Amino acid sequence: MAIHKILFASLLICLLIQSSHGATKERLFSDLEKSALEVTATPSRVGEGVVLAAGIDKLSITWKVSSTATKEPEFKAIKVKLCYAPASQVDRPWRKTENELFKDKSCPHKISSWSYDPAVKTAQSFDYTLERDIPTGTYFVRAYAVDAKDHEVAFGQSTNEDKTTNLFSVQAISGRHKSLDIASVCFSVFSVLALLVFFVNEKRKAKIEQSK
């Protein structure tokens, strides 16, 4: 019975902890200032039906604070991320776009982070080689401007609001290696052979014993 009391008490404590988290207003994507940054992303290879190779091809990314940005004094850093286009989110709820920022999973791949210097007004550009763990899909680039508390306040993206223009496709690496394949085959063969050798051996020993 003591166990039951302990279990019940721990249940109560857990529920209390959960409720004591308090109600913090969740930060929403819709509250962010749109188009505060002008972002362009140009793949190293362009053309109809071109698919970029992860780990090999590059993106040339530029970002610039728009002249219409109102929250500009709060900017402390710019975070550039690779985001999924709607086509890559179909039937994949782990990439879903959510309005609550902490729940949103549509931009999981960090490209880079730059601290913001208000004195520099020109466009910043850099090259980014697609990482080898980028999955196959269609993407665009988004840059978030964050304040001193590391909260997003504004953003800009390389595509339009409906996420239909300027998208680019990436093909992931397969992760397969010839050496892996060969090792796999060797171990499999070893397993089957070892079994057969044991089996035949024991049958032979049993025959010898029986004939004695």
Pairing of strands 168-171, 51-53: parallel
Residue 195 CB, nearest approach to other proteins (Å)? 4
Q: Which is nearer to other proteins, 46 or 192 (CB)?
A: 192
Which residues are near other proteins by CB under 8 A?
10-11, 14-15, 17-18, 21, 90-94, 102, 105, 132-133, 135-137, 172-177, 180-181, 183-185, 187-188, 190-192, 194-195, 198-199, 202, 206, 209
Q: Which is nearer to other proteins, 90 or 119 (CB)?
A: 90
- The 3-state DSSP composition of the chain as helix, strand, coil percent (nearest 5) reads 30, 30, 40
**142 CB neighbour count, 10 Å cutoff:** 23
In 75-202, where do the E strands start and end?
A: 77-84, 109-115, 124-129, 137-146, 152-157, 168-171
Q: Which is nearer to other proteins, 45 or 92 (CB)?
A: 92
Q: Looking at the DSSP assignment, which residues form a beta bridge with residue 113?
A: 79
Q: Which is nearer to other proteins, 160 or 184 (CB)?
A: 184
Residue 187 CB, nearest approach to other proteins (Å)? 5
